[in-house]
Structure 1
Amino acid sequence: MYSLMIVDDEPLMVKYFKNSIERIAPEWQVSGIALDGLQAVELLQRQSFELVVTDIRMPEMDGLELAKFISEIYPQTRVVIISGFDDFDYAQRAIRCGVSDYLLKPISDQSIADTLKKISEQIRSAQSKLFSEDFLFKEERLTDPELRSRFLSSVIHQESPNMKSIYSVMAGKKMELLQQAYSCVGIIGVDSAALMTEGKSYQETESYQMRLNQTCMENCKDDPNSAVCYCDGDNTAVLICSREKEEMLEKARRFYKEVRSQMERDYSVPTLNAIGTVEHDILCLRNSYEAASQNFILAFLQQPGLSSGEDGRNPADGFAGLASSVYSDYISGNDSGIYAGLKDFFQGLPDDADPLVSARFGLSLLQQICKKGKVKRNRLERGFQQLALSWQKTRGKAAGDGMADAVYQAILALNQDEKLQLADDGNHLAERAKEYIAAHYSEPISLTLIAEKLGVSSSYLSDLFHREVGEPYSKFVTRVRMEQAIMRMKADPNKKIYTLAAEVGFINSKHFNSVFKKFYHVTPTEYFKTL
């Protein structure tokens, strides 16, 4: 799947691209949205893109300036300009800025499809050329295990030209792997969430994953009917082949058992694994790999009796939908949508769920967002650090709102440009909100305003405030204002009601009278008479 950024200050154009690209060109996805050139530059620092589609006229930095910047700093990223000007001078300037294509408004589905198809072919051609040059140079020096590894990698990553080249070489060498009747792909990975909850850093989990990959390679190097390679998320994919189906499955079980034992014995590191479907055609191993990926999610549920929540939902069934919706909200900058999705999912886990199960889902979600959005490694590391810190603060309630809070803060951390500011725990954040209300109750404050001051979304703050304080934000503000009104009335029994109303944050005395009577069951005038 190729990654695309749309840069346009016109909301309708952004919405059109976001909702239509995968329908028009299935091998492309919108992974970033920017409203102007400066926002696009910020996104390029966080994520990798094969293509940037940009309007030519925008504030701050226009499309041609952005194209020139990309060609100089990110030469592997292609640029397509969208313009309403059929002007030869513009086209010439665009070419000088390294633009790959030039689309005239109004654009159509077909024009976009044709352009993206051309860009895809250019990318594949460049990748195939690089692979061919590298492969031809190394072909004679590649060992059989290395050939098998490259073949497996090309199959599961759908690199068709590379797969055909390697298959041809393997067939020429009459490698035994290609002569087996049954094959399947499995996935094995370190339990990164378990390591995170034990205080291990992101670099340490990466190191253990590399050791796991090496352990798998050592166990496969003398078996001509197996192969090992890295797969998505830095896990390890393992290919097992045999002439008999049951023999192959038993061989796979023995392999995973041995690798798990070695990792536990040598490094005290737990692992998770899953096996995909059995295939008769070795060129269809992508199907087996996709099944293994789905089963790997099920491996997160390593707790007896944990299969569904109170509403009967299997948590694994909802995870794919959650990942898709959260990713969509992430690239759109919809923080409220992200939090709502997380809250719904994690509240659906059973009350007796092992907190580690929640941590596995949370970390996997973070990794999938980074993988699909091609978020750069340093950003993923930052998100991991944030999730680890939030986990330590919320582990007592990690099966529900606590884990939703933790993952939400980790996703926000992906976009932090400054040095990582580790988020406050819920109680501290609620206290800061209360302090702000106490200092500004006389002003027209809103939940959205306070959320912006604290750097969180309004929906997140609303939920957290209610949970930590014990009453909704609106009731708390009303109570503070009413208590302040009573104090001021006692201090000055002759104060005018309209003056009092303004001093405690009401825009008119009529609204103040109504709220006061509802709160104290008497009107302000009646209360003054008791003083």
Structure 2
Amino acid sequence: MYKVLIVDDEPLVREYLKLHITSNHPDWEVAGEAMDGQEAWEMLQSIRVHLVITDIKMPVVDGLELCGRLARSDNPPIILILSGFDEFSLARDALRFGVQNYLLKPVVQDELAEALTQVTAQLDRKFHDELAARAMGKVSKESQAQVVRQFLKALVSENRVEIKALYPLVFRLKVQLIETEGLIMVLDLDEDRLAQKGMPYSDFPVFRFILHQMTGELSEACGFGFVFLDEDQHTCVLVTGEDKNDIEHKCRLLYDKVASAMLANTGITVSGALGTLESELFHLQYSHAKAIETHGRCLFSEEPLLFNERNGGVLPQCLSMLEQTMATVQLAVPDRNEAAFLMAVKRYFESLPHIGSVHVLKFGLHLLRQLANGPLERQGGFAESAYQHLRQMPGNPSGLSIQAVLGLFQEIFHCLTRGGPEEPVHENEQDIVSRVRTYIYSHYAEPLSLALLAEKIGISPGYLSSIFHKTMQEPYIKFLTRVRMEQAAKLLKASPAMKVYDVSEKVGYVSVKHFSHVFKQFHHMPPGEYQEKYLNHKERSIL
């Protein structure tokens, strides 16, 4: 409930206002009455009100003097002035003290009601703002940082739903994302180096995660940049500064630190690209788009670089051809249009002055990355087998022929379009399930998902789930759990002295607590008790 103090030297006016407010405005309570500004000032030293309704002309201390005193106080109330027609100039003078409205005497009931409605709305907004500020103040710094990262991701991907939801939170947090100017810097792994080291395609996300974490830590240590992931899992940094030279210097400094740390810790190089300089927060998507486009230069370079529009030695038509090729490929794969796919690939490589194995590898990995966010994902995914074809590509110091490249990408096309949810492979279901069971028995200690198993076999996850359940009379995850629990029991029996956390790790569980919970459900006793049982049994057998 809001409180009001009525100040007027006319008792009838005070009574009229008091009766009207009390009877018609349940959100308001008349906290007191005063007949002049001095009495009102003394009362306000002991009570707090949200609104003061005061006359201008009063004895002792008039309304203007009261307004002045209140304006100079801490957290002053809202003031509503009462004035006669001949006092309009005085009411206007009161505006300099923060007075927001005035009512002419004699006071009309409807005008008073409208004024109180406006003040109520203003106080409600202030209350909600303060409540939200207190709530945001209790949010941890990491949670606040997560809000900012999610907002930036939504911003560069133009996700209007998330922008609408997150921007008020960022505003409440009082995070100044751009003070003068800023740009988006995009960092990404040189994936051809991962391939050359023989890394499985399924491990690429692990190295992207390492890159993102290192960039975040180094950016925080340097004291600049907001680090986030975009929808394609590129590590992005919003770098701000006083001017172009300052911002580019910061980008270069951070890039050098990240690239050195990644090379030292993983042996993998990193390339990056700078977007356009922007002064408006909601123009950052243009900076991000330019950075992604410019990062395409890494496909034509054999060395890692931080690219911008001025370096890389790549003609604009090369980047344009790359964009056209990807657009065609992303339509040709789901349509299973081999001719369109190969024609696009042929045009791309014909536009290059020289075709080396590194160019083919970079293009192939870029193609898989683009398809993984669209048709390849929808069709169940066959990236691993396509990746293996890329890795087996023969190197030729004198360059590769168009025919050899097209032969390679024809095989890759067949990998990408084999099977799928609407066209399952024509293989005996029993044989498929048998292959999956064999794979699980050989790899139960590894992180196994339905999607991974489906990709290994070359069918869609939905199809595999259906035929596995139908054939085995249980879901694949129950089968996998049973295999792991059986293997855990064998380990505990064979080596009773083995630590439970070692057994947990050997059968594919990261958390020993989770392993113990599942083991107890399956074997009706905790692993430690099970171990103790067979240890005692073994000792009795020896005796």
Which category describes the TM-score, using the shorter chain as reference length?
0.3 to 0.5
Larger Rg: 2
Tell me the TM-score normalized by structure 1: 0.48
Larger relative contact order (Cα-Cα within 8 Å, sequence gap ≥ 6): 1
Tell me the TM-score normalized by structure 2: 0.47
